[in-house]
Amino acid sequence: MKKIILAGLLLAVGSVAMANSAQDVLKKARDDYYKQQEAERKAAKAPKKVERVKTETAEGVEEVEAEEEVKPRTPMEKLEYNANKAAIKVDYYERVVRSVAREEKELDGYNEVLGKKKSKKVKEQKAKTEKTKKAKK
C-alpha cells in the first residue's frame, strides 16, 4: 500500500515537472517561430521598395513599377553603388548647365532684338566660360 501511494505521489510530482518542461519547450518553439516570421516579413519588406513612374503614351498615362536597388553591404559594392549615384548626379547637373546656357543664348537674342544692353556681370561670366572652354580643349 505504501508502495502504491509512493508511486502515485512520484507520478503526480513527475508529471507536473514534465508538464512544466514541456510547456517551456513549446513556449521556446513558439517564440522562435514568431521571431523567424518577423524576420521574414522584414526581409520581404526591405528590398521591395517600388517606385511608380508615370510614362505618357499615345493612349494615355501608364504607371510602370521600377524596383529600387537594394543597398550594398560589402565595401566594394558600396563603392560601386556610390560611384553610380555620383555619375547619375553629374549627368543631371551637366544637363542643367547646358539648359541654362541654352536659355542664356536665347535671352541674348531677345535682348539684341529689344536693344537692351548687357550687364557687366553677364559679360564677365561669358569671358570666364570662354576661358574654361579654351583651357579644356
Is pTM beyond 0.85 here?
no
Cα-Cα end-to-end distance for the chain: 112
Higher pLDDT, residue 52 or 23: 23
The mean per-residue pLDDT over the stretch 17-41 comes to 82
List the one residue out of 81, 97, 107, 103 whose CA is nearest residue 129. Answer: 97
* pLDDT at position 63: 59
Q: Calculate the alpha carbon distances from 11 to 4, 15, 17, 22, 24 in Å.
A: 10, 6, 10, 16, 20
The mean per-residue pLDDT over the stretch 43-58 comes to 58
How big is the chain, counted in residues? 137
